[in-house]
Amino acid sequence: MKRVFRSAFPLTIPVLLGYISVGIAFGLLVVKSDLDLWVALLMSVLVYAGAMQFLAIQLLVNPVSILQVAIITLFVNIRHLFYGLSFIDLFKTFGIKKHYMIFALTDETYSLLCAIALKEDVDQENLFFAVSFLNQLYWITGTLIGYLIGSWLVFDTTGIEFAMTALFVVIFIEQWLGYKDHRPSLIGLGSSLIAVMVFGPKNMILPAMVMILIGLMGSKSLIESKEVHL
Amino acid sequence: MTFILILVMALVTYLIRISPFILFGKHQKTPLWVTYLGKYLPPAVMSMLIIYSLKDINPMDYIHSLPVLIAILTTGVLHLWKRNNLLSIISGTVVYMMLIQKVFI
C-alpha cells in the first residue's frame, strides 16, 4: 500500500495545489463568517464538494429551511451525476473501497481518475483509492490551514483560486489531444456559454447539462462512427 | 441546526454521486447509451467546468476578464508546449495573481 501511495502522489500534485489553496480560502472564509472550526472540518470530511461548501457558508450564516438546503445542494452538485457513469463497470470490481470511491468523486478527483484510467498497466483499485484518499486529505488539510492562519497572512493570496481554472484548462487540453472527435468538447463549451448568456451565471449549471445531454445524444451516431473509422 | 444542515448537504451530495451506480449497477452489462455517455461526457463536462469557474466574470469588464484571458493563454500555451501539468498550473496561477494584484488594479 505504501508503494501505491508513493506512485499515486506525483499524479495528485496538481490537485494538491488546487485543493490546498482553495481549501485555505474556504477555511479563511469560515473564520470571517464567525463559524467554528468543527463546522469547516465536518463539511470537508462529510460533504466534500468545493463550490457547495462555499455556498454552504452563506446558508449556515443566514439559515434557510432543510428542504431549501437539500434543493440547492441538488442543483449545485447535480453535475456529479455524470461522473459515476464513467466508472460503473470499473468500480464493480473494487469491493469495499467502492463506497469511498463513490463518495469521494469530486470534480478534480474525477478528472484525475479519467486521466489515470487511460493508462492500462496499473493496479487500478489501489491506485484509484490512494489518489482519492490523498485528494481529500489535501482538501481537509487546506481547510485546517486556512482556519488556523485566519487573518494573519503574510502575503497576498488574492487570485490563488485560479489554480482550479488552470487545472480544468490543462485537463481540457489533455482530453482534446486524447479524443479523435472534438465534438464533445465543443458541445460542452457551446452549451455552457449559451447557458451563461441565457440563464445567467447563477443558474447556468442545469440548463448547460441538459443541453450537453441533448447535444451528445443527438450526435451519438456521428461521434461513434468517427471513432470507429479513424 | 448547523449540524443537521451539514448532514443534509452531505446526504444529498452522496446520493447524487451514488445514483448512477444504483440505477445502472445492477445490470449485468451497462446499457450502451450509458457507456457512450460515460466515454464522451468527460470532455463535455470539463469544458463546462472551465466556463463554470469563470461564470462570474463579465467579458466586457476588461479589468477582470483580461487577466483571466492572459492567464488561461499562459496555461494553455505552456501546456501545449511542455505537457507538464504542474508547470502549466503554477505558471498560469502566478501570472494571474501578479496581474490582478499589481497590473489590473
Residues B66 and B97 grouped into a single domain: yes
Residues B63 and B26 grouped into a single domain: no
Query: Scanning every residue of chain A, which has its alpha carbon at the shortest distance from the alpha carbon of B19?
Result: A81
Are A190 and B48 in contact, with CB atoms under 8 Å apart?
no
CA separation for the pair A66, A122 (Å, rounded): 43
Residue boundaries of the structural domains of chain A: 2-178, 181-230
Of B53, B68, B95, the last residue of a domain is B53
Are A167 and A14 in contact, with CB atoms under 8 Å apart?
yes
Are A191 and A212 in contact, with CB atoms under 8 Å apart?
yes
Are A155 and A56 in contact, with CB atoms under 8 Å apart?
no
Candidate from B19, B43, B48 with C-beta closest to A192: B48
User: A128-153: string of b/e by CB count within 10 Å (b at 16+)?
Assistant: bbbbbbbbbebbbbbbbebbeeeeee
Candidate from B14, B43, B101 with C-beta closest to A175: B43
- B residues 22..81 contacting A (CB < 8 A): 24-25, 30, 33-56, 67-68, 71-72, 75-76, 79-80
CA separation for the pair A81, B13 (Å, rounded): 9
Query: Residue B38: pLDDT band by 50, 70, 90 thresholds?
Result: confident
pLDDT in the model for residue A154: 63
B39 three-class SS: helix
Phi/psi at A121 (5° precision): -90, 55
Q: How far is A99 from chain B (nearest CA, A)?
A: 9
User: A38 burial class (0-12, 13-18, 19+ CB within 10 angstroms)?
Assistant: exposed
Enumerate residues 6+ apart whose C-beta is below 8 A from B81: none
pLDDT in the model for residue A229: 46
Q: If you average pLDDT over every residue of chain B, what do you get? A: 88
Per-residue pLDDT tens over the stretch B45-63: 889 888 988 888 888 899 9
Average pLDDT score over residue span B64-85? 94
CA separation for the pair A216, A210 (Å, rounded): 10
Are A75 and A101 in contact, with CB atoms under 8 Å apart?
no
| Probe site for chain B from A105, A167, A174 (most B CB atoms < 10 A) | A167
ipTM of the complex: 0.84
Are A64 and B28 in contact, with CB atoms under 8 Å apart?
no
Could you give the number of structural domains in chain B? 2
Task: Write the CA distances from A178 to A171, A181, A185, A221, B3, integer angstroms.
Answer: 10, 9, 11, 20, 44
Residues B102 and B63 grouped into a single domain: yes
pLDDT in the model for residue A230: 43
Are B25 and A101 in contact, with CB atoms under 8 Å apart?
no
Cell numbers representing residue B11 in the block:
446526504
pLDDT in the model for residue A102: 94
Ramachandran quadrant class, B45 (left: phi over 0; alpha: psi -120 to 50; beta: rest): alpha
CA separation for the pair B71, A48 (Å, rounded): 27
Q: Domain residues for B48?
A: 1-53
Per-residue pLDDT tens over the stretch B1-13: 899 999 999 999 9
Enumerate residues 6+ apart whose C-beta is below 8 A from B76: A169, A173, B88
Average pLDDT score over residue span B29-51? 81
Residues B48 and B62 grouped into a single domain: no
Q: What is the mean pLDDT of each run of 10 residues along chain A (230 residues)?
A: 88 87 82 88 94 83 84 79 84 88 92 80 84 96 90 70 81 88 94 94 83 92 69
Are B50 and A165 in contact, with CB atoms under 8 Å apart?
yes
